[in-house]
Amino acid sequence: MDTRSTRAVFLDRDGVINSDQDLYYVTHPDQFVLNEGIGEFLKKLQDAGYLLIIITNQGGIAKGLYSHQTLAEIHKKMLQQLSSYGVNIAEIYYCPHHPDYGKCLCRKPESLLIEKALARFHINPQQSFFIGDRESDIQAAIKAGIQPVRTEPNENLMKYLQILL
């Protein structure tokens, strides 16, 4: 029996937390725009006892489109905006690699970043969910034994609350 008691909702970033329209990569904090309803949605999950963890592929770093430092600034803006809804993100895990520039074990659809979070926070995967808008999110979730929730890019996620609560 799995005695780990922490429940988590894992979240993809682009297209789930923030708008993923024509940009393809968010390369500057000014381009980071929260999706409608995401603050309220995450607050509901947090209030229900879920730990919130972001797992994101940021291959633009490998491509030289932005730096680790710029990504940190983008994430600082994200955390500030979410905190205005009372939302606390436990951790952000990102893969900075891109297959055009070499193989890695952490880019979704691989599940290494999820596994790291499961171990660090003693999360029970069977009581957790992964919300993502791409097939690579779904595959990573399944590899880690977590139930996937597939969304459309940039949609208001409130309609998924009844699955999660």
Residues near Mg ion, by CB under 5 A: 12, 14-15, 133
User: Nearer to Mg ion by C-beta: 4 or 33?
Assistant: 33
Nearest residue to 147 via CA among 160, 123, 162, 128: 128
> Does 14 participate in catalysis according to the annotation?
yes
Nearest residue to 108 via CA among 79, 81, 133, 82: 133
State in angstroms the smallest separation of the CB of 93 from Mg ion.
14
Establish if 108 lies at the interface with Zn ion (CB under 5 A). Answer: no
Tokens of 91: 């951790």
**What is the b/e burial string over 8-46, where b = at least 16 CB atoms within 10 angstroms of the residue's CB?**
bbbbbbbbbbbbbeeeeebbeeeebebbeebbebbbbbb
Establish if 95 lies at the interface with Zn ion (CB under 5 A). Answer: yes
Tokens of 76: 């600082």
- The one segment of 5-13, 27-35, 96-104, 138-146 that binds Zn ion by CB under 5 A: 96-104
Establish if 107 lies at the interface with Zn ion (CB under 5 A). Answer: yes
| Phi, psi torsion values for 158, nearest 5 degrees | -55, -30
User: Nearer to Mg ion by C-beta: 6 or 147?
Assistant: 147
Active-site position among 2, 14, 30, 137: 14
The number of residues that bind Zn ion (CB under 5 A) is 5
The amino acid that residue 86 corresponds to is G
Tokens of 72: 């940190």
State which of residues 8, 106, 113, 146 lies at the interface with Zn ion (CB under 5 A).
106
Establish if 97 lies at the interface with Zn ion (CB under 5 A). Answer: yes
Give the residue carrying structure tokens 């205005």.
Answer: 84
Answer with the entry of Zn ion, Mg ion, none that 95 interacts with (C-beta below 5 to 8 A by kind): Zn ion
State in angstroms the smallest separation of the CB of 16 from Mg ion.
6
List of residues contacting Zn ion (CB under 5 A): 95, 97, 104, 106-107
Return the active site residues: 12, 14
